[in-house]
Chains A and B, each alone.
Chain A
């Protein structure tokens, strides 16, 4: 009986340790791993943001979005791969996308692109001396180019 209890405890400890090791070393989730919450254009996404930021966050925070938009800028180096999508926003807002991995085919300015990215929030506009200098930025992370 005692042997069975010890064996049971040993198995439980090994399983717990295994779960612990897995959780500690689990990889970052990317947009490729998650189900798509919504397919939307960059313009429509920004329109919803401009209309009601609170409602936008409630709806889209931590959701995986399939977004189509026009490339405003693209940058890639050893550390990061990022692009921004322009929008026809009244607030001059943009959509900033950070990719999970580097891209072989580099998108060109004004190219139409479709990406899957996890919405992690937004940066507000930047004001100086009462003037809005930079529009808001919706942030999509761990993105992948959608086929």
Chain B
């Protein structure tokens, strides 16, 4: 009898822990480069996001070859010359929501937060801190943020003849519609 009660208690604890995790496999990551010569934009709508609301841990994973450019040639150059996706196939982020306790996922509303973590692109990891919003709407939490990334910080080299076409600092946008991870 005691073992039965303990098992039920353990299962409830595991289930409760799982309920604290939200995810999506179809999140969005985009980047935008603006110069006087041209604007370059790329979107990736197959980004995995996972958030643990109890600890504030957040992980993001995106395949570089999933970033879609308007021009196929630009997409080829991005993968072959800039991020070398055959060597470094993914961009990842591992971090924490600094003030996660301020976000109530059971109460509809928009919550402001700060996210800090390591962004790994092109094999180079760098820490970033960014402001984010978490909009709770029923069983969904929509997370959004924008921040800038310098190509040089991740050893992404821009050829001298393209320095007027590609910005040294790229605006990165992230958006994810998160729902509960059920196992």
Contacts and interface: CB of A to CB of B under 8 A. Distances in A.
A24 B73 contact: yes
B48 A123 contact: yes
A98 interface: yes
A114 to B, nearest CB: 21
B167 interface: no
Contact of A133 (B23, B26, B55, B68): B23
Interface in A20-55: 23-29
Q: Main SS of chain B's interface residues?
A: strand
Interface stretch (A4-12, A63-71, A75-83, A102-110): A75-83
A91 to B, nearest CB: 14
A89 interface: no
Interface string B51-68: 010010101011101101
B72 A123 contact: no
A87 interface: no
B181 interface: yes
Given A24-B71, A134-B23, A120 B63 contact: yes
Interface of A: 23-29, 75, 79-80, 82, 84, 94, 96, 98, 120-124, 126, 128-129, 133-134, 137, 139, 141
Interface of B: 21, 23, 25-26, 43, 45-46, 48, 50, 52, 55, 57, 59, 61-63, 65-66, 68, 71-73, 75, 89-90, 181
29 contacts: A23-B73, A24-B71, A24-B73, A27-B72, A28-B72, A28-B75, A29-B72, A80-B26, A82-B45, A82-B46, A84-B25, A94-B25, A96-B25, A96-B46, A120-B63, A123-B48, A123-B61, A123-B62, A124-B61, A126-B23, A126-B50, A128-B50, A128-B59, A129-B57, A134-B23, A137-B25, A139-B63, A139-B66, A141-B65
